[in-house]
Amino acid sequence: MTSILKILIIFIIFGVLGFVAEGTLFNKPCLDLLGSRFNSNLQIPFCPVHGFGGIIIYLTTVNLPQLNDVSLTLLLTLFITTLECFSGKISNWFHYGKHTWKYQGGTACDGYISLEVSLIWFILIFMFLKLFRTYL
């Protein structure tokens, strides 16, 4: 399978899983950078920011094969948390200061980062690496 096809598949899988996670774990709709429901126009269960997170996880894993699972999970959690911060800031800028999402009790980055969510990311990334690293 070509790398571009793998990236597309990962983008779709993570986008769908992100949509499900947003609705079930956090009980909120997936919002795009402009603050509107991404799927309200397309009518699909998809959250693009999670798709981009999947691409970051894939590309980092492929390009740093020498790292063990724990080190790679820590690095990826930092990357994903940083993506969440920048996505929130960009969203706020596009939406003229209105927060399109904000974690209640968010600990950093104007509430766009939550320690609990970062821990969830750590666990999910670690599980993903344990299950799928050999296939990447």
Residue 8's CB is within 10 A of a number of other CB atoms, namely 13
**Three-state SS at 123:** helix
Mean pLDDT of the chain, nearest integer: 80
* Bridge partner list, 37: 31
Taking the whole predicted model, whether its pTM rises above 0.85 is answered as: no
**How do residues 87-131 score in pLDDT, each as one tens digit?**
888 877 776 666 666 777 667 787 778 888 888 889 989 998 998
Distance CA 64, CA 72 (A): 8
Token pair listed for 126 = 């670690």
